[in-house]
Structure 1
């Protein structure tokens, strides 16, 4: 089926009407700033790097030089990367309340009874599909505070239970993701709770920026683990905070040009629709946004993310459900001596998208636009493991969402 991938070139690529604004945004993701973020993360006593997997047999099979996958299913034992953003944001918030620079503090220091006494009782609140909220709940519990987490309609019960198991109050609402964000914002204002969200709106910019900075530790690890710079990077786009943070750092770390590709589900393809319109302003999409790629079921681009991504992303790809399922099966059933990667739906969709481009003649034109060839070095990020075990098993064992 030809429209399992819909793609559009970015007409705004490096045509920066707001060039000064973009340069200012990049300053939040310099090598020096990312070093500081990593330093704080490493003050957590059980911190460990996640692995970078090389899929040499797959690379040879599809005709590229290299495929590397950063496997975030190992992050902090929480099966997803999102905790990096939540824990750094909480650390920054607490440092600000204490009147200190986070560079002067460690995660373990923030757990001290005398620090907790100074800070008092705090409640952190957030909207999540599962991974971000679990990370916020984990960080709040570790630091001795409360968390309240709200999930959009259709969220998996397993993900809800995982959040509750971190000691937080959690519930699934009857609203989509973006409306749930508005609801939690209202609750925070009414109750004096601290909202920890990775999307921005007017008057709420500081904490989302901290979250974005927190994500960069994973890419700092990647550039230390890689021998050569990637030529192509495929990144998941929900509200765009993760993708834009990765792009902003890589754009400054590597001087050679990198081709960045955004990947989204059809039902929540706000970046695809924004690039398709080709204007300075982004486009929102609405509706229920029910997709197995629950972590990407966001219909409203974050303003900061949009400004970065429209400047540096070459192509946006909107994907059918079976594209994510194919990615899960490709990563979970490796060729020859390639390592097995357990990837959830949102984690696997870039792999599924890349595989479709390389193996389906319907997308030969996209392959040519991206200039993927035998010299290409492709980087993917598995942002989550099997965070919904039942659905993972249905896809891997029972062939749910077959390749069409």
Structure 2
């Protein structure tokens, strides 16, 4: 390794329940499947503005990390929402509205175009969707509600930035700031939905609430399939480093690669902040657990204290390792990308979106973690840069330059 900045010390737990010989069976396919992916791909691929996001080869970063390849799936331009979340929340809103229309107008197939042009506006205008968010998921749900013709109420935790609140409001949603953390916002949204007859569109699942989170996760697999198709024909990753949150994203990545490649799937490493480690704690305990930390992290989109039960059902045997990192690793990685370090072209990446790459760099610089994860010189790693500058002010405060200055240096 050379030229890697100080990144702090990672914490690694290798999952004793990981099973690469296990077949992706009916219980897994009931959550995520290639058949349901085909449906999501056909739908999302027909939306205006759909285009695969780029897969960037970070050759210099790989050299600095002492490995063969790093591929970075850059979601910073997805549907102008600057985040992969556009694939999940909005898709779930569409599926929900289609079900509502079909319940009231039986026997009629409902397309996205029908909803966009307002063909069933009398029905959709009576529907309100709600969710809790640290920013990106709520923005996707609000966008989906605006595009497909229903109302949206979005709950945010107390520490959600003003810029992220305004980005949600720009799509016509009503935003409610909760005096508490993300998990408090989840509970408030669920309680108010019960009282008002609203529909919760969440990426986290819990007892009695499974169908919509499944749609959200399935939407994310569009990004995973794009990455598979963009890889060089003769090369596959040996590892995937993917950020955690409630687990919906890593489960979507894990499930899609598991069903697609079986035993040949890459080693899946789930990355979380030290202070928001519900997946790490669940792996150690062997069952869903709450985070051990106070959830106070610069990686706001990953400040989740409780695991999605559906996600855990995939990750319990599908994820190989759980890694937690300090905040400084994420900030340093944002700056390396923005600076065009190691000969790369500059990339604008948000503080939560870089966690997978930050986890890789942090582990590569730590001899014990490097050995534990099998990061040999021939390792080829796929990471997902899941957001751009979703709040330009937060980005500038961390990087020292605006997103525009990064992309258009004087």
Normalised by the length of structure 1, the TM-score is: 0.91
In the alignment, structure 1 residue 268 sits paired with structure 2 residue 276: yes
SS of aligned partner of 1:171: strand
Looking at structure 1, the residues matched to 299 and 378 of structure 2 have their Cα atoms a distance apart, in angstroms, of 31
Question: Is the 2:7–2:332 Cα contact (8 Å) retained in structure 1?
Answer: no
* Equivalent residue for 2:159, pick from 154, 162, 182: 154
Gaps of 5+ in 2: 1-5, 402-410
* 1:233-252 correspondence runs (5 A): 233-252=240-259
State yes or no: 1:79 paired with 2:82: yes
Contact 2:7 2:362 in 1 (8 A): no
**C-alpha displacement of 1:31:** 2.6
- Aligned pair 1:166/2:157, yes or no? no
Q: Which digits, 9 at most, give the CA deviation of each residue in 1:291-346, with x for residues without a partner?
A: 11111011111111112112021111111110111111122222454222211110
* Residues 104 and 252 (structure 1), Cα distance of their counterparts in 2 relative to 1, 3 Å cut: farther
SS for the counterpart of 1:378 is: strand
Q: Secondary structure at the match of 1:263?
A: strand
Instruction: Give RMSD over aligned pairs.
Output: 2.4
Residue 98 of structure 1, CA deviation: 2.8
Contact 2:153 2:174 in 1 (8 A): yes
2:337 counterpart of 1:334: no
Deviations 1:94-130 (A, max 9, x none): 22223389x9554222223322224442111110000
* TM-aligned CA deviation for residue 290 of structure 1: 2.0
Question: Does structure 2 conserve the Cα–Cα contact (< 8 Å) formed by 1:201 and 1:303?
Answer: yes
Taking structure 1 as reference, are residues 250 and 104 closer, same or farther at Cα in structure 2, changes over 3 Å only? farther
CA contact (8 A) 2:40 2:218 kept: yes
- The answer (yes or no) to whether the contact 2:295–2:303 under 8 Å persists in 1 is yes
Q: Which 5+ residue runs of structure 1 have no aligned equivalent? A: 399-404
The structure 1 residue matched to 2:141, chosen from 136, 156, 162, is: 136
Aligned counterpart, 1:205: 210
- Higher deviation after alignment, 242-251 or 112-121: 112-121
TM-fit CA distance, 1:158: 0.5
Q: Distance in 1 between matches of 2:53 and 2:188?
A: 34
Q: Structure 2 matches for 1:5-404, cutoff 5 A? A: 5-14=10-19, 23-99=26-102, 105-227=110-232, 228-255=235-262, 256-277=264-285, 279=286, 281-285=287-291, 289-335=295-341, 337-358=343-364, 360=365, 363-397=366-400
Find the aligned partners of 2:29 and 2:185 in 1 and give their Cα distance: 29
- Deviation of 1:218 (Å): 0.6
Distance in 1 of aligned mates of 2:351 and 2:161: 12
| Corresponding residue number in structure 2 for 1:402 | none
What is the CA–CA distance in structure 1 between the aligned matches of 2:70 and 2:109, rounded to whole Å? 38
Q: Distance in 2 between matches of 1:196 and 1:24?
A: 23
